[in-house]
Structure 1
Amino acid sequence: MTKWIASKIMKELALLIVFWRAVAPEKHYLSLHHFLYPGVPDFPVHGVTGVVEGIIAFYSYEDVVRIRHDWVNKLIKENNQLWEAYYRECLNYRKTFRAETADFNDQTSSENEIIQLIVGCELDEETNTSVGYALYGNNGEDYIEIDLKRDTWIATNPKAAAITKKWNENKSRNVFWKTMLQEDCPNFLKLFWRYGQPYITRKVLPSVFLLQKNSSSPVTCLSTGFFPENSNMFWRKDGEEIHEGVKHGDILPNGDGSFQMSVDLQVLSIPHEDWERYECVFKLSGVQNYVVTKLVKETIRSNVIEDEGPFTTTGIAVIAAMAGVIIIIIVGFGFFATKSRKTTDSISTSENDPAIQ
């Protein structure tokens, strides 16, 4: 069962790309993430993911689009003609995307190309100004990006120099991209933000659990289900934050659009009578209240206990599998991690995904 869950998570998350940036609250972001995976077994050849403020709004592969949130369904229902035109344009772009990147395959000896494209814009709400971007990646490497100030494509990889020269000779193509990035994208962003704002700006505190594999292992304080991801968690003793014997984990996305994180405390050298002097503290940005969990032995969920809910042997293994999958994705998409100045804080998903055929 654990292997099946990990496999399902891998297929879902492989459609996504996880990367970071510091998000200014007065700026909003919309991006489309296209990929081509020709020759990869049991995987769609083409897909596209729509991301608003770091939240997956929808994704499409082949001829299926999956909607990730109720507010996106409402947007589609109330703007059906606009959405249909938008979706048809995305489907039509598949052929163009393949044709335009066909030359990528000639620049490398790799048998299976992984071609990626991020198209998007950010909007400054205070000044009502926007910045558009289009970034191509090839097998995890920077490849080509657009310079809207000079209406040209730039080869960020020497292998792409011949391709950008060819693209820049097509003036009408460059005009199309400039219009799309500077006019169409900001208009769609405003529409998505209007419908998604209540969900995107919500504040949700986590459930917190203490976990320990065995008596000699560190105690892991796991917080899960919080939103947004801007948060902090630490151990403290007698009310003071401590660093010795503490190991922080990364913030990871859950399947429902929320996040999880963990912080370990090495307890072997701590006398049992002193345990209750230690607390795990979770702080969510913009929320005054903290979530404080005392280090009490009786509340720790251990790997040696069977059939005790999701945090037994199987449950912890699933969490580890999720973390491993995400690490694999981060390594595989190094191209996007380097583009932090142009991408959202992180990508998350939701299980609410009725398919539209």
Structure 2
Amino acid sequence: MKFFYTGSSQVPNFPEFVEVGFVDGLQIEHYDSNSRRFVPKQDWMNKITEEEPQFWEEQTGRGLGHQQTFKAYIEIMKQRFNQTGGVHIFQRMHSCEWDDETDEVSGFHQYGYDGEDFIVYDLKTETWIAPVQQAVPTKHQWDNDKALLAVFKNYHSTECVDWLKKFVEFGRSSLMRKDLPSVSLLQKTPSSPLTCHATGFYPDRAHLFWKKDEEELHEDVVRGEILPNHDGSFQMSADLDLSGLQDEDWGRYSCVFHLAGGQEVSKRLDKRDIRTNWKTNDGGFPTGAAAGGVVAALLLLTGCIMGLIVCLKKRPQASETSSSSGEDPAGKKMLETSS
């Protein structure tokens, strides 16, 4: 489960503040300063209201609070870095990962400013790391605050994992599904690398590779990252350099998609299956290529930019009920020590 918060200053056509949360790559909730409302992004997330009827109203209240806090954060950062106006972004990112077989727990918690790490929490040593000089005062203050360190430790080891388990149970039918992708062979021009593109698979624990006969290829192959699609599924690609490939060897090559759990999709290299948008000498397109080229371009451009923010759980206080998104336990400390 991952959460991203983004506060921005003078960024055109972008909200001043955004929070989002994800479970296994699926967005589960969203808040921004334009709508000023926390909303679920999966139908099964509404099950939380059976236990906590006011959950989304409480989340909205916290979102409004975070919005004001992040506005102050940016002003603090501008002072730290001796800046005045201009475009600036302050981010908080945190997560917890739970292995349901080994029960092992891990995660991360960090803050960033203008695209660079500002301060990072080390879960193993329970201390803060300051990648830049401007963060050193904050590191010293937070490292010496034992109560604050205890809050972070409890959050990542217990609270975050408890909510992750709850959400996994709510969304079991979606999160536990296994969807195989459609696999296409794409090529921009006859001299370009050949792209094997797989899209529509879930979950994102997958491997895409080229092989010759039964041997996986490592040379002349460039693998792309796994990227999210707008519908919650994923896509990835692997490029094969064809420059040294002999015509008689084409049938010996194939692209293989392997999904966690053992399911596979294999596509043998065949010139007739390549989708492209390059024109022939007579100004036309190769047979079947026109539509395929448009599809190829769209598929290669599909993907989402994840980089926003949500707190999982309110800092426990006397007689209060915790929720998945809450106050930043370090937020007040930063405001106190950074001005």
TM-score with structure 2 setting the length: 0.71
Name the residue aligned to 1:192.
167
Shift of 1:171: 8.2
Q: 1:1-357 residue pairs with structure 2 within 5 A?
A: 30-62=1-33, 63-76=36-49, 79-100=52-73, 102-110=75-83, 111-123=86-98, 134-146=109-121, 155-164=130-139, 184-287=159-262, 289-304=263-278, 305=285, 312-322=292-302
Higher RCO structure (Cα 8 Å, ≥6 apart):
1
Distance 1:218 1:172, change over 3 A: closer
Q: Deviations over 1:199-242 (max 9, x none)?
A: 22321111111122233333322111111222222222333333
SS at match of 2:11: coil
Contact 1:104 1:160 in 2 (8 A): no
SS at match of 2:210: strand
Distance 1:157 1:226, change over 3 A: same
Aligned-partner residue type, residue 318 of structure 1: L
Distance 1:301 1:178, change over 3 A: closer
Q: What CA distance in whole angstroms lies between the structure 2 residues aligned with 1:96 and 1:213?
A: 47
| Structure 2 unmatched runs, 5+ | 279-284, 308-339
Aligned-partner residue type, residue 300 of structure 1: I
Aligned-partner residue type, residue 240 of structure 1: E
Worse-matched range after superposition: 172-181 or 93-102:
172-181
Aligned-partner residue type, residue 94 of structure 1: Q
SS at match of 1:236: strand
Q: Number of aligned residue pairs: give it.
A: 297
Q: What CA distance in whole angstroms lies between the structure 1 residues aligned with 2:212 and 2:151?
A: 59
Contact 1:46 1:61 in 2 (8 A): yes
Distance 1:149 1:308, change over 3 A: closer
Structure whose CA Rg is larger:
2
Distance 1:61 1:245, change over 3 A: same
Shift of 1:136: 1.4
Shift of 1:317: 3.2
SS at match of 1:99: helix
Aligned-partner residue type, residue 55 of structure 1: L
TM-score with structure 1 setting the length: 0.68
Q: Deviations over 1:52-87 (max 9, x none)?
A: 234321221111445332222344466432343234
Contact 2:195 2:238 in 1 (8 A): yes
Aligned-partner residue type, residue 24 of structure 2: E
Distance 1:67 1:315, change over 3 A: farther
Distance 1:293 1:120, change over 3 A: closer
Q: What CA distance in whole angstroms lies between the structure 2 residues aligned with 1:249 and 1:83?
A: 37
RMSD: 3.7
Give aligned-pair identity as a percent: 37
Worse-matched range after superposition: 85-94 or 144-153:
144-153
SS at match of 1:160: helix
Aligned-partner residue type, residue 214 of structure 2: G
Q: What CA distance in whole angstroms lies between the structure 2 residues aligned with 1:134 and 1:66?
A: 23
Aligned-partner residue type, residue 53 of structure 2: N
Distance 1:123 1:102, change over 3 A: farther
Contact 1:211 1:311 in 2 (8 A): no
Shift of 1:159: 0.3
Contact 1:310 1:316 in 2 (8 A): no
Shift of 1:115: 0.5
Contact 1:306 1:312 in 2 (8 A): no
Q: What CA distance in whole angstroms lies between the structure 2 residues aligned with 1:277 and 1:182?
A: 49
Name the residue aligned to 2:282.
none
Distance 1:171 1:249, change over 3 A: closer
Q: What CA distance in whole angstroms lies between the structure 1 residues aligned with 2:245 and 2:98?
A: 51
Contact 2:25 2:228 in 1 (8 A): no
SS at match of 2:88: coil
Contact 2:199 2:236 in 1 (8 A): yes
Contact 2:74 2:89 in 1 (8 A): no
Name the residue aligned to 2:333.
none
SS at match of 1:71: helix
Contact 1:309 1:315 in 2 (8 A): no
